[in-house]
Structure 1
């Protein structure tokens, strides 16, 4: 990530921070849908839902190509996919049977926790890189 410009790193940080907000809203909407037995929207059970949420759209776009080879990024991508797959599984079960199994919900919560944890770690790495780039820029000006 050190090969990125200061502005590119700030953009990554901005996206990581926004993804937290976006995914918290997605999570709240999912839980509300399941608990209140609302009609299950296509964004939860459609084809490739992990690519259709706002974070997924960025994750699979050209704007993230410079991060694709980072191990932390690859891990986040996998965790994001698993979280959405787990949500889809709960929603499909709810739609077909009218309820969610406890072990499906527990698995989903584990995926959510791991995704949040890794996003937080990635954010701290981005902040650290940003600080190094800033320090390097200051030293170059001296």
Structure 2
């Protein structure tokens, strides 16, 4: 895709089960097709139609409903292309067999290559989804801290190669302990989930939110200079403060958050940028909270 990091693990697991069912249907379909080719039994009428790839069970799942979590990724597009071509070549084989014409080895190989590639692409998508599940913080939907290290190293390497800027931002939900003490920990969990869900929709597609620990989160903002990052984060701060968060046993509450920004430096370890963003966060909290503080590289603070 790559798949969205904020996507819920339950949604991802549902997709995995649907893909498993699709592969089982694919195996059953191949068995019936080969039986028709070898024994001369009548093929399924659906396999002779021009839209056969839409008629099979996998096709009904693939084309019959939207898949917003998958459609932007290369795995999903490749699966559709291989699946359609596989049915196209299968139809050509069946038409020849019904007409009593011999099937050339190259024609059969062409069909089987598509069938094999289709299965490999589905398995590749499943592997990608499993990796995403392992990278997601299941409570909030943010990427977890284990995946943060690798992502930030990737961005650091990209800075070295392309001299593109990247900013990190530490966010801490203000007075979160009071939320837990007043409304309970279940309500606190709902607040964390709602905040991450809201922010993830408001951020750019290539930005990433990681759960750093507790009510602290780290944002990675690639291709972004410090002043631009400040404007982006300050907008997020304002919009988050205006967000009514509904709780099951209460009407709604409002929260604020403090933010600390720092630019990554290609000549310094990633950990240095995280520490600077954390220091900037402390400045935001000590300055009254509900604000954004930017680490000044020139002044060193």
Task: Please give the TM-score of this superposition, normalised by the length of structure 2.
Answer: 0.44
Equivalent residue in structure 2 for 1:126, among 126, 129, 132: 129
- Per the alignment, residue 27 of structure 1 pairs with 30
Equivalent residue in structure 1 for 2:8, among 5, 9, 13: 5
Provide the secondary structure at the position in 1 that maps to 2:102.
Answer: coil
Contact 1:58/1:64 (CA < 8 Å) preserved in 2? Answer: no
The one-character-per-residue Cα deviations of 1:30-74 (angstroms, maximum 9, x if unpaired) are 000110001122121113010111111010122424322211100
Give the 5 Å matches for 1:1-142: 1-2=3-4, 3-133=6-136, 136-137=137-138
Q: Which structure is richer in relative contact order (CA contacts within 8 A, separation 6 or more)? A: 1
Instruction: Kindly tell me the number of residue pairs found equivalent between the two proteins.
Output: 140
Q: Give the deviation of 1:98 after TM superposition.
A: 4.5
Provide the secondary structure at the position in 2 that maps to 1:68.
Answer: coil
- Counterpart CA distance in 2 for 1:64 and 1:45 is 27
- Counterpart CA distance in 2 for 1:64 and 1:100 is 37
Contact 1:9/1:130 (CA < 8 Å) preserved in 2? Answer: yes
Provide the secondary structure at the position in 2 that maps to 1:4.
Answer: coil
- Counterpart CA distance in 2 for 1:94 and 1:64 is 36
Provide the secondary structure at the position in 1 that maps to 2:54.
Answer: helix
Contact 1:34/1:91 (CA < 8 Å) preserved in 2? Answer: yes
Task: Please give the TM-score of this superposition, normalised by the length of structure 1.
Answer: 0.89
More helix by share: 1
- Counterpart CA distance in 1 for 2:62 and 2:68 is 8
Larger Rg computed on CA atoms: 2
Contact 2:9/2:138 (CA < 8 Å) preserved in 1? Answer: no
- Counterpart CA distance in 2 for 1:106 and 1:38 is 21
Gaps of 5+ in 1: none
Gaps of 5+ in 2: 145-210, 215-301
- Counterpart CA distance in 2 for 1:46 and 1:117 is 25
Contact 1:68/1:74 (CA < 8 Å) preserved in 2? Answer: yes
